Structure 1
Amino acid sequence: MSELTFEQMLDESFKTIRTGEIVSGEVIDVKPDYIILNIGYKSDGILSKAEYTNDLSIDLTEKVKIGDKLDVKVLKVNDGEGQVSLTHKRLVMDKGSKILEDAFNEKTTVKGVVTQIPNNKGVIVVVDDVRVFIPAGLLSDVYEKDLSKFMDKEIEFLMQEYDPKQRRYIGNRKELITAQKAKALEEVLSKIKVGDTVEGTVKNVTDFGAFIDLGGIDGLLHIKEMSWGRIESAKKLYKAGDKVKVLIKEINGNRISLSTKFEDENPWKDLSARFPVGSVVTGKVARMTDFGAFIQLEGGVDALLHVSQISKNHIEKPSDVLKIGDEVTAEVTEVNEENNRISLSVRAMLQPKKKEENADDNGEEYATVDVESVVAAQAEEEAKEAPAVEAPVEEAPVVEAAPAEEAPAEEAAPAEE
């Protein structure tokens, strides 16, 4: 048996490798663009940045250090320069692809970080270096106008499509959210019923109300249900994150309507006893419309002073004689507790004073309230600017003259006969 040469013995001391084989190596040098590994072969392995990651902006010296262990796949046993060409990225991608395949077949969820938002048409999520596209329509169960909030966030989703040959990986987060909400709704509905009082967290506030998280499912607190009084803006009362105690008003399928109008705090309760018809009340103008002014009598109780009841004189619109904040005294003419309505009248207060007519030349009376003072002032202004008011006095002689001229005519008639 012939003796082996030194070179042959050296070659036999190293393991053999094949293209596609997965080997473990130790980092012996790191440069910004490539890594050198000892893989137990007669030649060192070279791992380029492009075969380490898809993110070419990184500096490898910041990610890897000498002595680190890496699992790599052999691309070429000899890259032409006597070195072994390696890849780490493809090994990771194989692992990621297997994760996605299992998730697709078994209908299980996967998690990944959003790395791109192409033209706001969807997001790209990376799962072990495999890029999964989730279209905007499959990103949520509600319309998402701005997708930038998902950037760099880890999200969970289901696999809609899996085609490694075409490198087509499509995710679906909408289906997952819908299923989670259905389960959450079932759990919440098993614990609550109409009439219950629960605590929730304000999730979002809109012009028409606030959405309250009741523990995995949202309920709507409409602006009309936020107070017994009138609310100008829901955003002035609540903000995201606020804790709020709410009443379950209605449950309709997956919709839950909420209210903060608790019956024991109802200011309209026993209203007839506090504001009986015929009583005189004083309040401040809270708001106005073309048909009347709403007078706040107490917190949550606004009464309507119709434009026709503001004065004995004609008023075109309430803002002609009133402004927000004015104090008005009027008589209660109607109380409707069922519909939470109170009607007021300033004119009604003038009725008992009919016996005191001839108070002035025009025979008009004014209530001792600000409203009538304004009306009276307007009447005086019109009187000064209208001398034609004396016209009826000039017509008086004409009315008297007619009989004087007719008298002779009646006597002359027999003479003609």
Structure 2
Amino acid sequence: MEIIVAKHSGFCFGVDKAVKTAFNIQSDERVFTLGELIHNSQVIEALKEKGIQTIDDIDELRENDCVIVRAHGIGKDVYEMLKMRNVRILDATCPYVKRIHEIVKRKQDEGFKIIIVGDPQHPEVIGINGWCEGKALIIADEEDAENLEYSDEKICTVAQTTFRGSKYDAIFETLKKKFAFALKFDTICNATVQRQTEAAELSKVADAMVVVGGRNSSNTRKLYEICQQNCPKTYLIENADELPSLNNIKTVGITAGASTPDWVIKEVIFHMEDMTNRQEGEIDFSKALEESFTELKNNEVVKGKIIGYNTNDVFVDLGYKADGIIPMEEFIDDPDFDPEKDLLPGTEIEALITKLNDGEGNVALSKKRMDSIRGFEELEDAFKNEQPIDVLTKEVVKGGLVAEYKGIRIFIPASQVSDRYIKDLSPFVGNRIKVRITELANRRRIVGSARILIEEEKNKKAEAFWSEVEEGKEYTGTVKSLTKFGAFVDLGGVDGLIHISELSWNKIGDPSEVLKVGDTVTVRVIGVDREKKKISLGYRKAEDNPWYKIEEKYHVGDIVTGIIKRMVPFGAFVEIADGIEGLVHISQISNVRIAKPDEVLSVGQEVEMKVMEVNPEIKKISLSIKEVKPIDPVREGEEELEPAEEGLPTQHTEELTNTIGDILNEKK
């Protein structure tokens, strides 16, 4: 006969924590559990042998007694009554259940009506209801949900941790139709989901299924129901003595409820295999539990598996008679920490034992101290091999920054934070940066440098840049600084200069009129000096030149409007578009001779003109006012003016694109 045992069977971590808490108590006080610690008669008997009694009424407690709160949890009012009786409370409530307590209390305070999906008589459900003042509506099945009247209330729905997931989903779909707004929390324990999923799969391939667990255990009954749907020969037993005859069975599957101890499962397997070397007689459960534990000591490095967490602690299975507990605050210092991803059940974790017994029967662990030990080893290795490390900056101190690597302080001098001078270091605080360890004398004196890495990276980029740069090539860079004569652009390890004359087609007085530090710009290389390591860049584009394809915009004979910008003895310059000026010669202003343009014109005056000539090569447009509407002067008693004096120029060409370099060359 082939025996297949479900991988996830027996104690879940909540039950495991409660049992270990009870068996680990060493006290002269009277010790009680409020209700059965777990739904398993063998464990309850073993606890009695240890002197731990089960009570159902808190009136049986006396001052200074010790009471263990079972994995199912209790209501808030019961907690308050226990405190008033001045008893020592050891809270073994399952972290999953505690999370539900927090949810219902918070959501009720926010105005939600609480609905609990589960068995109304189950102690877990009763305890949950106690955290919302006993006002929750308890739904056991779809029929209960269907019988509800429509309400405009908003509801918050939670489920008993051992409830069937598919059934919970179906009930919630019905509830959504009955209330104006429905919020659902997935509160079914992972261990429950794993056990039910495995039981369903195993029961499909087995000829018979044996479900081991207490008959009053909710999760065990649900496992039995799931298995029976797929395998008619499904048996629910509490121990090996109840095993049925399994003659003519080729394959038998075994699963167990979350309240079933490992030794009970082993006993069932031993009986089924008819092992010749198995022990005869009754099993000493307390002894079996003790013998299954490993030995630990203070300041020992241990490895364990995460079994759960709540807002205060992370619980770790160490294979010891007590679980390990790591304070949650040791995790949340990391800004990238995500409990839903980093604290998955089954994840292996390494920690240092700080106390074998924290006073509540748990092993106190420190991940931070463990990280510090491993972190220093990694720092030594990084220092020896000149490898970069990623550190988190914590604060600004005199002379630089203090950063941390796995709890170890590293000093970064101000001069080593960047490759340039930084007056205010505060923006770096809270960020991660890469550094190289430059000094490591001991744990108290560790120095790092980001500058070395930045300069090395820039040198690599510069070398690659100079090997491929050529005139006409375009690059994207960042404006690094501005001067009166232009803008310096970081091209990635190499700086290039955009001369002020290359920033705009219009005349500008300062580069800041076009760019600001930090701007991302696309530039083209217009000059390369490899010997002096200088790059000249162009920023303005040909298509942005106001004279670009000017002949397509203005034609001889067009009537245009413009503003007079300035006047000279031989005429007036008129702006007809941004960056485009044309000349109205003095002879093209009036029908009569005038000595100077300002006799009839003024700067800022708007005039209509006719285009007489367009010459894009020399950037010249000739205009005429008198061809449209001549402006004649009004002069009293003056004789007719003589024709315009000969010798005055009839045209003027002004090149607007001279650079400082051009002017200097002319002076040589």
| TM tier relative to shorter chain | 0.5 to 0.7
Change (3 A) 1:198 1:75: same
Structure 1 residue 80 displacement after superposition = 5.0
Q: Does 1:118 align with 2:399?
A: no
Change (3 A) 1:158 1:246: same
SS at match of 1:190: helix
Question: Which of residues 67, 70, 80 is equivalent to 2:349?
Answer: 70
Match for 2:292: what amino acid? S
Match of 2:654 in 1: none
Change (3 A) 1:147 1:252: farther
TM-score, normalization by structure 1: 0.55
- Give the conservation status (yes or no) of the 8 Å contact 2:479–2:488: yes
Match for 1:38: what amino acid? D
Alpha-carbon distance in 1 for matches of 2:322, 2:371: 23
Q: Does 1:141 align with 2:419?
A: yes
Change (3 A) 1:325 1:142: farther
Alpha-carbon distance in 2 for matches of 1:226, 1:21: 67
Q: Does 1:246 align with 2:525?
A: yes
Match of 1:212 in 2: 489
Structure 1 residue 203 displacement after superposition = 0.6
Structure 1 residue 198 displacement after superposition = 1.8
Structure 1 residue 40 displacement after superposition = 0.9
- Give the conservation status (yes or no) of the 8 Å contact 2:435–2:448: yes
Alpha-carbon distance in 2 for matches of 1:181, 1:215: 7
Question: Which of residues 384, 398, 406 is equivalent to 1:128?
Answer: 406
Alpha-carbon distance in 2 for matches of 1:262, 1:169: 52
Matches within 5 A, 1:359-398: none
How many residues align? The count is: 314
Match of 1:91 in 2: 370
Match of 1:392 in 2: none
Match of 2:325 in 1: 46
Alpha-carbon distance in 2 for matches of 1:105, 1:261: 50
Deviations 1:318-364 (A, max 9, x none): xxx8569999xxxxxxxxxxxxxxxxxxxxxxxxxxxxxxx989xxx
- Give the conservation status (yes or no) of the 8 Å contact 1:201–1:241: yes
Structure 1 residue 87 displacement after superposition = 1.1
Structure 1 residue 39 displacement after superposition = 0.5
Alpha-carbon distance in 1 for matches of 2:338, 2:389: 28
Structure 1 residue 127 displacement after superposition = 3.2
Match for 2:295: what amino acid? T
Matches within 5 A, 1:284-295: none
Alpha-carbon distance in 2 for matches of 1:122, 1:143: 12
- Give the conservation status (yes or no) of the 8 Å contact 2:524–2:537: no
Alpha-carbon distance in 1 for matches of 2:424, 2:573: 41
Alpha-carbon distance in 1 for matches of 2:443, 2:407: 16
Alpha-carbon distance in 1 for matches of 2:411, 2:487: 32
- Give the conservation status (yes or no) of the 8 Å contact 1:185–1:216: yes
Alpha-carbon distance in 2 for matches of 1:249, 1:296: 37
Q: Does 1:189 align with 2:189?
A: no
Alpha-carbon distance in 2 for matches of 1:324, 1:126: 69
SS at match of 1:183: helix
Alpha-carbon distance in 1 for matches of 2:577, 2:462: 39
Match of 1:174 in 2: 451
SS at match of 1:111: strand
Change (3 A) 1:157 1:302: farther
Extract unaligned runs of 5+ from structure 2: 1-283, 547-561, 583-594, 597-601, 609-636, 646-668
Match of 2:503 in 1: 226
- Give the conservation status (yes or no) of the 8 Å contact 2:478–2:491: no
Change (3 A) 1:205 1:87: closer
Alpha-carbon distance in 1 for matches of 2:458, 2:348: 44
- Give the conservation status (yes or no) of the 8 Å contact 1:132–1:171: yes
Match of 1:158 in 2: 436
Match for 2:478: what amino acid? K
- Give the conservation status (yes or no) of the 8 Å contact 1:93–1:130: yes
- Give the conservation status (yes or no) of the 8 Å contact 1:219–1:256: yes
Match of 2:475 in 1: 200
- Give the conservation status (yes or no) of the 8 Å contact 2:302–2:353: yes
Structure 1 residue 256 displacement after superposition = 3.1
Question: Which of residues 537, 551, 557 is equivalent to 1:258?
Answer: 537
Match for 1:160: what amino acid? T
Deviates more, 1:148-157 or 1:215-224: 148-157
Alpha-carbon distance in 2 for matches of 1:147, 1:285: 53
- Give the conservation status (yes or no) of the 8 Å contact 1:11–1:42: yes
SS at match of 2:473: strand
Change (3 A) 1:22 1:52: farther
- Give the conservation status (yes or no) of the 8 Å contact 1:202–1:244: yes
Question: What's the % identity of the aligned pairs?
Answer: 32
- Give the conservation status (yes or no) of the 8 Å contact 1:223–1:234: no
- Give the conservation status (yes or no) of the 8 Å contact 1:89–1:129: yes
Structure 1 residue 149 displacement after superposition = 5.1
Structure 1 residue 262 displacement after superposition = 9.7
Match of 1:27 in 2: 306
Change (3 A) 1:299 1:49: closer
- Give the conservation status (yes or no) of the 8 Å contact 1:197–1:245: yes
Question: Which of residues 365, 382, 405 is equivalent to 1:103?
Answer: 382
Structure 1 residue 152 displacement after superposition = 5.2
Alpha-carbon distance in 1 for matches of 2:417, 2:564: 49
Alpha-carbon distance in 2 for matches of 1:324, 1:253: 51
Alpha-carbon distance in 2 for matches of 1:75, 1:191: 59
Change (3 A) 1:42 1:254: farther
- Give the conservation status (yes or no) of the 8 Å contact 2:504–2:539: yes
SS at match of 1:112: strand
Match for 2:305: what amino acid? E
Alpha-carbon distance in 2 for matches of 1:113, 1:325: 64
Match for 2:352: what amino acid? K
Structure 1 residue 204 displacement after superposition = 2.0
Extract unaligned runs of 5+ from structure 1: 268-282, 304-311, 314-320, 328-358, 368-417
Structure 1 residue 23 displacement after superposition = 1.9
Change (3 A) 1:136 1:256: farther
Change (3 A) 1:148 1:186: same
Alpha-carbon distance in 1 for matches of 2:566, 2:376: 64
- Give the conservation status (yes or no) of the 8 Å contact 1:51–1:90: no
Alpha-carbon distance in 2 for matches of 1:152, 1:72: 26
